[in-house]
Structure 1
Amino acid sequence: MSVTALSAEDFRVFRDYFYKKTGIEFEESKRYFVDKRILTRIAATGAGSFREYFVGMRFEASQKEFQNIVNLMTVNETYFNREDHQFRTLSQHVLPEIVARREQSGKPIRILSLPSSTGEEPYSIALHLIAHWPGLAQHDVEISGADIDTEVLRRARAGVFSRRSVQNLPANVLATHFTALSDGKFQLSDDIREAVHFFRVNISEPADTRKLRDYDVVFCRNMLIYFDDQSRRLAIEAIYDALVPGGFLFLGHSESISRTSALFALRRFPEAIVYQRPHT
């Protein structure tokens, strides 16, 4: 018999577990969204009840099913050149400041996009620097994208995007770095795709965040809005540790950490507010 509905207790049990594992909290208003996706996975696995599915998912050694449900539950709405005033702030103010104070001139500048979703943000950074930052000729830049969702990471590496995704790109950038496909989508060039490294990370898992170190810049836009205060605080601490002293953090336009954490200093640039890890 197929499972067609979840009880309020089922929802609570899953919500609490998912929050503990990811830091993402689902309110009661998200009940339909959550239930629908759990029922999809129950049907796919052939479980006879929510309890059977949940126990199997929770204790599976490989955690493959947990990853499947994470991929369904996370929201991945993005496009190229989103909030591009921050990219201008990066190239016109932040990177020149980083270069001016570097002790080791041969050390690459490291930029992280978290969460990277399907890759539009880190690829946008790469394309912007190619077009607008002369320092790229003298300094190596490493750009990485990280996300909890393995499916969006697969799509990011493939580099195939819809017309809507690329609609904000200048025509010359689209013509130079993309190939139009027969189905109306666009394939990003190999050289840009190879310039960005993608990997999975769960910002709420210490074993994962310990791998995030020595970044000069972190873009973390529109992720913290899905967290409660405690999860947000832990994520901010993880990002702080991921940055070098003096490193910069870009948040989404509707996000602020000033009331959540005192770890970062506020920097006001002409087009954007950026957070900076103190030098000492």
Structure 2
Amino acid sequence: MDITNEEFEQLTSLIKSKSGLFFEPNKMYFIERRLLNRMSITNCESVKDYLRLLKYDLRGTELNALVDSLTTNETYFYRELPQLMSFVEGAVPLAMEGKKRAGVKTIKIWSAACSVGCEPYTIAVLLKEHVPDIASWHVQIIGTDISNTVLKTCREGRYTDRYLKDIPPLVRMKYFKKTTSEDWEINHEIKQMVQFSNLNLVDRVKMRSMAGFDFIFCRNALIYFNEASSKEVVSMFYDSLNKGGFIFLGHSESVARLSAAFQVTRLKNSLVYQKR
């Protein structure tokens, strides 16, 4: 199947209007592979037929399915662990000190574009393992994603071996139980620490409801937005954070080029961005 430049532009324009995701022409092969799969499922014989289906699908069911197929990314527990340890050993104690002085014992964490839930569950496990008095704090962890498909996996909390490959064996046995020869389920205690909801990061109305966070993780998601959309998302993240709150991005991403409102801070071995 060959997609014309015009068809590619029409398709990526629809995707951007739905999700904010921006795909350059050099991503045409990536789009084609997923498009071919969706065309097979919907019995569309040509790209033109598929575009017509998207146009007249008033509920947006198929466009949602297409976006789902484009946003399911590689993820696993304990990914980019050095940064996570900077969070749990550096940023969390720092935030706790300030909150104790204010007589507050709540911590609110947002894992944006959380995919199948490995990141927010990892955060919960690391807090339990590395913050001695975490049980005396009210911890709220919220994972959001645009894909209802991945959110279903998040809520089920069941994962194959490949997702758990980097978890130390003792930690795995402590917080997961084996359900089949290849499947594991995260335990009830960790599940209760995390809530999940559908959220489009370019939906201004819903983003305004995300407030009062001490930490935001948005790792390896902004690379799928163009610069204008990335700046807008980072600006909304800034509004969502408490003063002194931290944002953690992927190693290939930088807040500095998108906003001057954050202070760059080195914690342990990682650079993080703090709300002034």
TM-score normalised by structure 2 residue count: 0.92
Alignment of 1:29 onto 2:26: yes
Match of 1:254 in 2: 252
Question: How much has 1:60 moved relative to structure 2?
Answer: 3.5
* 1:3-152 matches, cutoff 5 A: 4-47=1-44, 49-58=46-55, 60-102=57-99, 105-106=103-104, 108-152=106-150
SS in 1 for 2:209: coil
Q: Which moved more, 1:189-198 or 1:97-106?
A: 97-106
* 1:170-189 matches, cutoff 5 A: 170-189=168-187
SS in 2 for 1:151: helix
Q: Which moved more, 1:95-104 or 1:42-51?
A: 42-51
CA distance in 1, matches of 2:104, 2:54: 46
Alignment of 1:266 onto 2:264: yes
CA distance in 1, matches of 2:116, 2:189: 17
Match of 1:200 in 2: 198
CA distance in 2, matches of 1:39, 1:171: 40
TM-score normalised by structure 1 residue count: 0.90
CA distance in 1, matches of 2:258, 2:133: 35
Asked if the contact 1:21–1:205 (Cα under 8 Å) also holds between the matched residues in 2, the reply is no
Question: How much has 1:208 moved relative to structure 2?
Answer: 2.5
Question: CA 1:84–1:60 in structure 2 vs 1: closer, same or farther (change >3 Å)?
Answer: same
Q: AA paired with 1:45?
A: T
CA distance in 2, matches of 1:214, 1:150: 25
Moved over 6 A (4+): none
In percent, how many aligned pairs have the same letter?
33
Q: AA paired with 1:34?
A: I
Match of 1:236 in 2: 234
SS in 2 for 1:219: strand
Q: AA paired with 1:65?
A: E
**Cα RMSD for the two superposed structures:** 1.9
CA distance in 2, matches of 1:209, 1:55: 31
Question: Which runs of no fewer than 5 residues in structure 1 stay unpaired?
Answer: none
CA distance in 2, matches of 1:35, 1:196: 35
Question: Which runs of no fewer than 5 residues in structure 2 stay unpaired?
Answer: none
CA distance in 1, matches of 2:96, 2:243: 14
